[in-house]
Structure 1
Amino acid sequence: MIDDNKVIDTLEALESFLRLVDNGGLGIKNAAGVALATNNSDGRPFVAVLDDNHQLLLGRWVTQEVFDNGKDLVRTGPNKLN
């Protein structure tokens, strides 16, 4: 499920989103990982919260700038960069 009304448009907002996922603040059960991806139908970038079977639990659209520059943040996690 991707929330069409919420777009992450800064790296700070991406970091906040990742912290919420890590801390269980979004109420997501069985979250196993986070990835940046693109929508197959239109190429629009988003951040995906995935379960153990790599199924999408939650997605938020991101701007192209966040997609291009947030890969390390997603890969290492918000707590490991600082």
Structure 2
Amino acid sequence: MSQEQSVIDSLDELERFLIAVESGGLGLTNVEGVGMATNNADGRHFVAVFDKGHKVLHARWITDEIFATGKDMVRNGVKGKH
């Protein structure tokens, strides 16, 4: 990851990140998906935004807890609150 940003450490923050991706708020183009992964070099977890060719467009570090508890949110998307 080229820019060291604050680590996502709450489900609310993960939700805000996903909404920003879905709404175009990050200014990314050709977004095809979002997923969680583990850095092979150091074992840190991250959430990444991918293009059609599976290239990472943007990524943020996440805590172990968010990696464990936020998978459904990333997999299923963010549901609107009423």
Q: TM-score with structure 2 length normalisation? A: 0.92
The runs of at least 4 aligned residues of structure 1 exceeding 3 Å deviation read: none
Q: 1:73 Cα deviation (Å)?
A: 0.2
Q: Specify every segment of 5 or more residues in structure 2 that has no aligned partner in the other structure, as ranges.
A: none
Match of 2:55 in 1: 55
Q: TM-score with structure 1 length normalisation? A: 0.92
C-alpha distance in 2, partners of 1:37/1:81? 27
The amino acid that maps onto 1:56 is V
C-alpha distance in 1, partners of 2:47/2:61? 6
RMSD over aligned Cα atoms: 1.7
C-alpha distance in 2, partners of 1:40/1:81? 36
Structure (1/2) with the larger helix percentage: 1
Q: Specify every segment of 5 or more residues in structure 1 that has no aligned partner in the other structure, as ranges.
A: none
Percentage of pairs with the same residue: 51
Alignment check: 8 A CA contact 1:8 1:14 kept: yes
* Count of paired positions: 82
C-alpha distance in 2, partners of 1:5/1:11? 17
